[in-house]
């Protein structure tokens, strides 16, 4: 599903954050990625989600070699990856209601009407009732906003989910609820998962395999 080969990436060409890192996630597999703060896990997750162009190395997604990142990535490839970030407040457009936030990826592909029912199902699965769906990000808690971000990430039925510290700012019950939603989605769609985090116990429980950064693969 995802093959990251000898990736070098960062924010300053002279001082890359990650050097020569490789990682593979098989079809339907859940891989946990652990590592100390600042080692570059989020940077690698952003490369995997086609949001950050590496300086060197190859990314293959669903058998295709990735040549463009962000808006330069082909839409079909971009929408085959769902991403959930650590800080929902930075990821979510503050002007949108939670309902609009969930359905926005469909609007970008002209499929809002077709996917309205799916958006409602995902809102229900993530525990968001009608009154919360009418609110904007500043009117809900971090946990409620993260529920909407998970629903949004699943809307276009991705075959790979990248969860970057998805549960870092959540309490135990919201963590359990959102991990259960992701797992149910993966069971139904046979989707793969790359879960980045600090919580070894959670990742061991959640994933088929947990790897330390830099990965054993290189």
Contact residues: ligand ATP, CB under 6 A: 11, 17, 35, 37-43
Residue located via tokens 């039925």: 157
CB of 91 to ligand ATP, least distance (A): 14
Nearest 5°: the CA angle 164, 46, 183 is 40
Helix (H) / strand (E) element for 199: namely: none
And the tokens for 126? 């993530």
Least distance to ligand ATP, CB of residue 9, Å: 9
Nearer to ligand ATP by Cβ, of 17 and 62: the residue is 17
Closer residue to ligand ATP (CB): 13 or 95 = 13
| Residue 42: CB minimum distance to ligand ATP, A | 3
Of 115 and 203, CB closest to ligand ATP = 203
Preceding peptide of 214 cis, ω within 30°: yes
Decide whether 37 or 131 has the Cβ nearer to ligand ATP: 37
Q: How far is the CB of 43 from ligand ATP (least distance, A)?
A: 3
> What is the spatial distance between Cα 153 and Cα 163, in angstroms, rounded to a whole number?
9
Interstrand relation of 64-65 and 30-34 (parallel, antiparallel or unpaired): unpaired
User: Which structure tokens are listed for 158?
Assistant: 């991705």
């Amino acid at each position: 599903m995802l093959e990251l080969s000898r990736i070098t990436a960062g924010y300053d060409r002279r001082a890359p954050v990650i050097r020569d890192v490789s990682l593979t996630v098989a079809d339907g597999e859940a891989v946990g990625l652990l590592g100390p703060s600042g080692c570059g896990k989020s940077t690698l997750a952003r490369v995997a989600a086609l949001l950050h162009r590496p300086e060197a190395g190859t990314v293959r997604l669903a058998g295709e070699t990735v040549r463009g990142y962000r808006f330069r990535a082909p839409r079909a490839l971009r929408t085959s990856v769902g991403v959930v970030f650590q800080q929902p407040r930075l990821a979510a457009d503050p002007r949108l209601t939670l309902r609009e936030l969930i359905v926005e990826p469909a609007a970008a592909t002209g499929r809002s009407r077709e996917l309205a029912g799916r958006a409602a199902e995902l809102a229900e699965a993530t525990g968001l009732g009608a009154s919360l769906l009418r609110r904007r990000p500043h009117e809900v808690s971090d946990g409620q906003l993260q529920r909407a971000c998970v629903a949004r990430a699943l809307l276009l039925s991705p075959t790979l989910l990248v969860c970057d510290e998805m549960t870092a700012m959540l309490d135990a019950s919201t963590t359990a609820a959102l991990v259960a939603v992701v797992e149910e989605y993966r069971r139904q769609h046979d989707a793969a998962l790359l879960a980045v985090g600090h919580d070894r116990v959670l990742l061991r429980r959640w994933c088929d395999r947990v790897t330390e950064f830099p990965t054993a693969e290189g």
